[in-house]
Structure 1
Amino acid sequence: MAQETKNKDYTLSSVKNALLILRAFSMDKSEMKITEIAKELGMGKSTVSRIMSTLASEGFVEKNPETNQYRLGLTILSLASVCTSTFEIHKEAMPVLHDLSEKTGETSHLAILDEFDVIYLHKVESKHRVRAFTHIGKRNPTYCTSSGKILLAFNDELFLKETIERGLVPYTEQTITDEEHLRLDLQKVYQNGYAISKEELSDGVITVAAPIRDFTGRVIASVNIIGPKQRMTDHSLSTHIKKVVSAGKDISQRLGYMGSR
């Protein structure tokens, strides 16, 4: 019995380590060596090597023959496709995002909360040559992004408090790092029904976001557009805000939200 419990614990530990290794990959670290993974996660090199061999055999990772570094494999891509295709919000938002990007000329995103970060689920690229760099799966802080502010403003006090306690790190000179200032800003977001981030995460980049509600009226996601400040002027913002808010309402209605009841 003791041996069986020991084997079960070992198996669960191996599964957890495998998941930690897969999550170590990102857009910033799309390829890594075994020694790099081991150092980052605090695991033994032999442990990482053994797990990577198993993951590679199932197609979850693969070795780049040119760099001899590991990267995520096609199995991950196939699972991601299954996941996104089954998300109702993803399917309902896609045509609206395309329309929003066409009308504003800027890149549009669908974003949700993932723990204390905001993450992009879908993206429609701007046709302009000059545009902000973003990608599906990109994680950003909530308090200095328009999508994140929406998801903060329409969340509960406990979540906001925990977000603040984790630290309001300055990314630019425009980042709000004072708790009182942030709370006042989020109150305006809640009252206005949209959020703006003017160079708060990246210099020269402005974003506008609006809430997306499910059939119960709960805010579950946000829709935004992002562009350089040269195009996102005060004049164009007034028009863009209306279009982004309209897009948020459109997606919400597609998800069954009927407005105030």
Structure 2
Amino acid sequence: MDARRPPTAAGKVMAILDAFAPGDVRLTLSEICRRACLPPSTGHRLVGELTAGGFLERTPDDGTYRIGTRLWRIGSRAPAVSGLRELALPHMEDLYEATHDNVQLAVLGDGRALFVERLRGRRSVPVVTRVGSDLPLHATGAGKVLLAHAPADVREAVLAAPLTRHTGSTLTDPDELRRDLAAVRRRGYATTRDEMTVGASSVGVPVRDRDGTVVAALSLVARTRGADPRRLLPPLATAARALSRDLAAHWHADGDITPPLPPDAD
């Protein structure tokens, strides 16, 4: 018996869901079974049950599977996510109106940048980000912010692992990336230029809680030819400061938020 094979029914279900953890939007049944270390018959049965329950979805065009809306609804109710999103959305909407570029909010999750909210318009540059998806820390503006301010052991673990080259501009040399992250901490923002997707560049800034700890990253993604930090950084930094003030006033360590008092309250 394969020692890696999940021994219980719950373990098998968790292994199937964890197969999507690397950030792949769609997987075939065989890919799910391989990643979950399950025989095809077992994988077929459990994936079918998860699909029937809305935890997975089967795409009609090619028969691949993706995370279902029911699972996302449950996950989005986690206090650390829902409270942050609730406070961030007004600032993200103002930022979008000021720039009309993609606005993204990400947190650190399992060595990846987990995107918990995103706003984009029809004129915005196409991006690979989806709400609930995760992307590499080393190739995204928000990810570089999170990686630069992550605990040292987390940062070094990411730098020690293979750094995937997504485009010809992706930084994959650990020493070069380490210098870039030091610059992010020094100047207070991160930039990418065609590093995740050719034609798209980004600027990211930290969002801090009441203790000054970086708990999220806010970023703008624009077409490379128009992605001038001198244009993007001022409204982005203003939005991040405003969100950080809201977090300091209303956000708790468990993710709950304290509603602001009405204007006429004592």
* Alignment TM class, shorter chain as reference: 0.7 to 0.9
Return closer, same or farther for 1:117/1:78 CA change in 2, 3 Å cut-off. Answer: closer
Q: Please give the per-residue CA displacement for 1:108-152, whole angstroms capped at 9, x wherever unaligned.
A: 000011111112100011341643343112221112211111111
Contact kept, 8 Å, 1:106 with 1:127, in 2: the verdict is no
Give matches, 1:129-144, under 5 Å: 130-144=125-139
Asked if residue 153 in structure 1 is aligned to residue 145 in structure 2, the reply is: no
Shift of 1:29: 4.7
Q: Please give the per-residue CA displacement for 1:194-229, whole angstroms capped at 9, x wherever unaligned.
A: 111111222121100100111211101100010111
Return closer, same or farther for 1:119/1:86 CA change in 2, 3 Å cut-off. Answer: closer
Asked if residue 241 in structure 1 is aligned to residue 236 in structure 2, the reply is: no
Give matches, 1:220-239, under 5 Å: 220-232=215-227, 234=228, 237-239=229-231
Of residues 6, 15, 19 in structure 1, which corresponds to 2:14?
19
Instruction: Provide the rounded CA distance (Å) in 1 between the counterparts of 2:81 and 2:49.
Output: 28
Return closer, same or farther for 1:185/1:43 CA change in 2, 3 Å cut-off. Answer: same
Instruction: Provide the rounded CA distance (Å) in 1 between the counterparts of 2:188 and 2:12.
Output: 42
Instruction: Provide the rounded CA distance (Å) in 1 between the counterparts of 2:142 and 2:115.
Output: 9
Q: Greater Rg, structure 1 or structure 2?
A: 1
The aligned length equals 245
What's the TM-score once normalised by structure 1's chain length?
0.81
Aligned to 2:98: 103
Asked if residue 253 in structure 1 is aligned to residue 245 in structure 2, the reply is: yes
Shift of 1:248: 1.1
Instruction: Provide the rounded CA distance (Å) in 1 between the counterparts of 2:70 and 2:206.
Output: 33
Instruction: Provide the rounded CA distance (Å) in 1 between the counterparts of 2:6 and 2:164.
Output: 38
Aligned to 1:213: 208
Task: Show structure 1 runs of 5+ residues with no match.
Answer: 1-9
Instruction: Provide the rounded CA distance (Å) in 1 between the counterparts of 2:40 and 2:139.
Output: 38
Asked if residue 199 in structure 1 is aligned to residue 194 in structure 2, the reply is: yes
Aligned to 2:169: 174
Instruction: Provide the rounded CA distance (Å) in 2 between the counterparts of 1:55 and 1:74.
Output: 12
Return closer, same or farther for 1:182/1:99 CA change in 2, 3 Å cut-off. Answer: same
Return closer, same or farther for 1:67/1:177 CA change in 2, 3 Å cut-off. Answer: closer
Return closer, same or farther for 1:143/1:58 CA change in 2, 3 Å cut-off. Answer: closer
Task: Show structure 2 runs of 5+ residues with no match.
Answer: 251-266
Shift of 1:85: 9.4
Shift of 1:87: 2.1
Shift of 1:166: 0.6
Instruction: Provide the rounded CA distance (Å) in 2 between the counterparts of 1:126 and 1:66.
Output: 25
Aligned to 1:163: 158
Instruction: Provide the rounded CA distance (Å) in 1 between the counterparts of 2:104 and 2:242.
Output: 14
Q: Please give the per-residue CA displacement for 1:37-82, whole angstroms capped at 9, x wherever unaligned.
A: 3234331122223423543564434667887666555532442453
Moved more, 35-44 or 63-72: 63-72
Question: Amino acid of the residue matched to residue 243 of structure 1?
Answer: P
Contact kept, 8 Å, 2:125 with 2:200, in 1: the verdict is no
Two-structure CA RMSD over aligned residues (Å): 2.9
Could you tell me the percent identity over the aligned residues?
A: 26
